[in-house]
Chains A and B, each alone.
Chain A
Amino acid sequence: MYKPSKKEAQDMLQQMMEIRQFEDKIMDLLSKNIAEGGSHLYAGMEAIAVGVISSLNHDDYITSTHRGHGHAIAKDGDLNALMAEILGKKTGVCKGKGGSLHLADLNKGNLGANGIVGGGLGIATGAALALKMQKSSRIVVCFFGDGALNNGITHECMNMASLWKLPVIFLCENNLYAMSVCINRACSVKDLRKRADAYDMPSEIVDGMDVIAVKEAAIRWIDYVRKGNGPCFVVCNAYRYYGHSRSDPRVYRTKEEEKSYRDRDPIINFAQRCIKEGWLTEKEVREIEATVAKAIEEATDFAIKSPLPEPEELYTDLYV
C-alpha cells in the first residue's frame, strides 16, 4: 500500500486544489463573458491527473484531451500562462493561438490537449515509438475519455503499440459520459478491460475519485512500462462535475447521480485522509487552500491584464 511522504501529500493536495479552483474560476469567467468560447472543465476528475502525473518523472511525456486543463496543471504547468492561454492572450503558453482546447507545453513534456476526440492517441504512440528507438527509459501517458474508446484511431494505436511493445500507458478517464451519451449506450463491452484483451495488453480498472488508489496503480504501471514490457491500459473511473461544456443543461443524468459523486469528492476525501493519517495537519490543509486561492487570483489577474497578441501574429508560426 502506497503511503505518501508529507511533501508528497502536500504536493498532491495542492495540485488537486489548484485544478479545482482554476476550473471554478474559468466557469466564473465564462459566465461573465470574460472568457469566450468553450472550455471543458476537469472538476471532479482531479485525482486522475494528479495521481498519475505526480508518479511520472518530469521528463516523461503526456498527451492530453479536450478536457485538458487538469493535465496541463499537473504536468508542471504555469498557472499564469495557462489562464492567459485560455483567454487567448499573448502571454499564454501557446501565445494565445491555441486556447483551452490546445494547451501544450512541450518543454514540460505536455504534448498537448486536443480538439479532436482521440487526437492524442497517434501522437502518444509516435512519441513512444521515438523513445523506444532512442532506447530511452522515458515513457508516455496517453490520456483520453471513455468516448474516445469508440473511434478508429484508438484501436489502430492500441494494436500498433502492443505489436511493437511501445512504452505508453493508455489511460482512459471514464466519467460515464461522452457529452450526453452514457458509456453503456456507446460501448459494446461492459467490462472495458476486454478492449485491452483484444490487443493483448494488461489492464486494470481504478477508482479515479481516490488519488491514493490512482497513485498506487500509476506507480505500478509506470514501472511495468518503463521496464520495456510494452503498453498497458488503465481505466480510471470518475465523474465530471460541470456539464460537458458551458451550455450543457445535463438532462441526460440525474441530480442524485451527480450528488453521489460529489459526496465522494476526491479533494475533500483526500484532505480528510491526510489529517486522519497524520500526513498533514488541519492547519496545513487550510494553508494550502489559501495559498492556492491566492495563486489562482494572481493568475486570473495576470491573464485579464495581459494584452492580446499583435495582429502580425496571425501569420507567424505556420512554417519554420
Chain B
Amino acid sequence: MREITYRQALNEALDEEMARDEKVFLMGEDIAIYGGAYGVTSGLLNKYGEERVRDTPISEAAIVGAGLGSALLGYRPVVEIMYIDFIGLCMDQLNNQVAKIRYMFGGKCTVPLTIRTEGGAGRTLGAHHSQSLEAWLMHIPGIKVVMPATPADAKGLLKSSIRDNNPVVFIEHKMLYNTKGFVPENEYLVPIGVADIKRTGNDVTVLTYSRMLLFSLKAAEILEKDGISVEVVDLRTLLPLDKTTIKNSVMKTNRVVIVEEDTKTAGAGAEIGMTVVEECFDYLDAPVKRVAGADVPMPKAPNLESLAIPSVETIVQGIMEVMK
C-alpha cells in the first residue's frame, strides 16, 4: 500500500467515480480552474471538462438547489460548499427540499446528491471560517452525515457517498488535508453508517470522529504509559450512528468519553451520549463524559482558538476523570 494525503485520497475518489459513472458531475465555487479552495478537485477540469467540473457563481442556495434538481432527473451531482460556515446560506434548500422531498412525495423519487464541505478550527481564520456545524445537520432526517478522519476512510466513504441514492453531506476537515495515511491501490468502498475501532482497549471507550480522532489517539498513547487501556472508536458517520459498534465497545469497557470539536451545548456529543445512555445504561460504571468545544464563536487569537477546542491534554484529563 502507498501513503497519500487526505486531499489526494479525496481527489482519487472523485476521479474514480467520475470515470466509472458519467452521471457524476461536480459543481461549486472555484472547483474547476482553481481546483477547490483546498485543492481537492485539482486536475479534474482538465480530465473531464467544463460540463462535468463546473465553477459556479457565489450562490450557495442555488448550488444545492440545482444539485437537487439535477439529481431528480438522474444525475449524481457532487456539489461543494467551500466552508461549512456557509451552509446557512443553503440550509433551506438542504432541510426543506433535499432532505424531505423523497418522503413528502411518498417515496417516488431518489436524491443521489453528495454535498462536500469542510469545517473545523486550526488556521486562526476566525468566527466565519472555523466552525463545526455537524450537529445542525444531524438534526435533519432524510440526509446522511459523514465525517472521515483518515485518507483511507476519506476515499472509501466519498465513493460510497457518491454511489448512495440518498443525499449525503460529506464533511472534511481543513487540518486533515495534508495528513498522510495508507490507502489501498485497489478499488474499495467504506460503508456509510459503520464505525471503525482505530485502537482497541479495555478500560474506557473514546467515541470520536474527524480531526479529534488524531488527538484522541495521541491521548490514548499517553495514557497507555499510565496503564490505562483506551479503546478509540472512529464513528466516521454521524447520521446514521453505528449503535452496534458503540454498544459492543461500551459493554467491554463500561466507560465512555466523547471527544468532539463542535460547541458542546446541543452538539453532536449530546446525541452520541444519549444514544449510549439509551443503548447501554446498564453497562456503564461511570457517567458519560464529553470533551467538547467551548460554547463560543471561534476567536481569532491563536491562543484562544486552541483553548476553544479540545486538546490532547484536555482529552487526557477527561479520560482520567471517568477512570476515577
Q: Do B127 and A186 have beta carbons less than 8 Å apart?
A: no
Contact status of A96 and B126, CB under 8 A, knowing A252-B34, A311-B307: no
Report which of A115, A116, A178, A313 forms a contact with B304, defined as CB distance below 8 A.
A313
Q: Do B304 and A97 have beta carbons less than 8 Å apart?
A: yes
Beta-carbon nearest neighbor of A35 in chain B:
B124
Q: What's the minimum C-beta distance from B73 to chain A, rounded to whole angstroms?
A: 22
CB-defined contacts of A186 to chain B, threshold 8 Å: 55-58
Q: Do B59 and A152 have beta carbons less than 8 Å apart?
A: yes
Q: What's the minimum C-beta distance from B62 to chain A, rounded to whole angstroms?
A: 8
CB-defined contacts of A98 to chain B, threshold 8 Å: 126-127, 300
Report which of A89, A115, A150, A248 forms a contact with B128, defined as CB distance below 8 A.
A115
How many B residues touch the partner, as a band?
A: 35 or more
| Interface: A51 (CB within 8 A) | no
Q: Do B304 and A309 have beta carbons less than 8 Å apart?
A: yes
| Interface: A251 (CB within 8 A) | yes
CB-defined contacts of B299 to chain A, threshold 8 Å: 88, 96-97, 309, 313-314
Q: Do B125 and A37 have beta carbons less than 8 Å apart?
A: yes
Q: Mark B18-43, 1 if CB is under 8 A from A, else 0.
A: 00000000000110011001000000
Q: How far is the CA of A315 from the CA of B129 in the complex (A)?
A: 19
CB-defined contacts of A178 to chain B, threshold 8 Å: 29, 57-58
Q: How far is the CA of A248 from the CA of B33 in the complex (A)?
A: 12
Q: What's the minimum C-beta distance from B206 to chain A, rounded to whole angstroms?
A: 24
Q: How far is the CA of A247 from the CA of B164 in the complex (A)?
A: 34
| Interface: B294 (CB within 8 A) | yes
CB-defined contacts of A97 to chain B, threshold 8 Å: 299-301, 304
Q: What's the minimum C-beta distance from B12 to chain A, rounded to whole angstroms?
A: 22
Count A-B contacts at CB 8 Å.
129
Q: Do A101 and B58 have beta carbons less than 8 Å apart?
A: no
Q: How far is the CA of A315 from the CA of B62 in the complex (A)?
A: 36
Q: What's the minimum C-beta distance from B309 to chain A, rounded to whole angstroms?
A: 11
| Interface: B96 (CB within 8 A) | no
Report which of B57, B124, B295 forms a contact with A36, defined as CB distance below 8 A.
B124
Beta-carbon nearest neighbor of B129 in chain A:
A115
Q: What's the minimum C-beta distance from B140 to chain A, rounded to whole angstroms?
A: 20
Beta-carbon nearest neighbor of B305 in chain A:
A88
Report which of B34, B60, B128, B308 forms a contact with A114, defined as CB distance below 8 A.
B128
CB-defined contacts of B33 to chain A, threshold 8 Å: 180-181, 251-252
How many A residues touch the partner, as a band?
A: 35 or more
Q: Do B128 and A314 have beta carbons less than 8 Å apart?
A: no
List residues 110-165 of chain A with CB under 8 A from any CB of chain B: 114-119, 147-148, 150-153
Q: Do A147 and B58 have beta carbons less than 8 Å apart?
A: yes
List residues 132-185 of chain B with CB under 8 A from any CB of chain A: none
Q: What's the minimum C-beta distance from B87 to chain A, rounded to whole angstroms?
A: 11
CB-defined contacts of A318 to chain B, threshold 8 Å: 295-297
Q: Do A115 and B85 have beta carbons less than 8 Å apart?
A: yes
| Interface: B74 (CB within 8 A) | no
Q: How far is the CA of A117 from the CA of B123 in the complex (A)?
A: 19
Q: Do B29 and A311 have beta carbons less than 8 Å apart?
A: no
CB-defined contacts of B48 to chain A, threshold 8 Å: none
Q: Do A36 and B302 have beta carbons less than 8 Å apart?
A: yes
Beta-carbon nearest neighbor of A313 in chain B:
B304
Q: Do B89 and A99 have beta carbons less than 8 Å apart?
A: no
Beta-carbon nearest neighbor of A98 in chain B:
B300
CB-defined contacts of A251 to chain B, threshold 8 Å: 33-34
CB-defined contacts of A102 to chain B, threshold 8 Å: 126-128, 300
CB-defined contacts of A187 to chain B, threshold 8 Å: 57
Q: How far is the CA of A117 from the CA of B29 in the complex (A)?
A: 12
Q: Do A314 and B304 have beta carbons less than 8 Å apart?
A: yes
30 contacting pairs across A/B (C-beta < 8 A): A36-B123, A37-B124, A37-B300, A38-B129, A88-B124, A88-B300, A88-B302, A89-B301, A94-B300, A96-B304, A97-B299, A97-B301, A101-B129, A115-B126, A116-B89, A147-B57, A152-B59, A178-B29, A179-B30, A180-B55, A185-B55, A248-B34, A251-B34, A308-B303, A309-B303, A311-B303, A311-B304, A314-B296, A318-B295, A318-B297
Closest 6 CB pairs of A and B: A115-B128, A99-B300, A150-B57, A180-B34, A88-B301, A37-B124
**Chain A positions near chain B (C-beta within 8 angstroms):** 36-38, 85, 88-90, 94, 96-102, 114-119, 147-148, 150-153, 178-181, 185-187, 248, 251-252, 308-309, 311, 313-315, 318
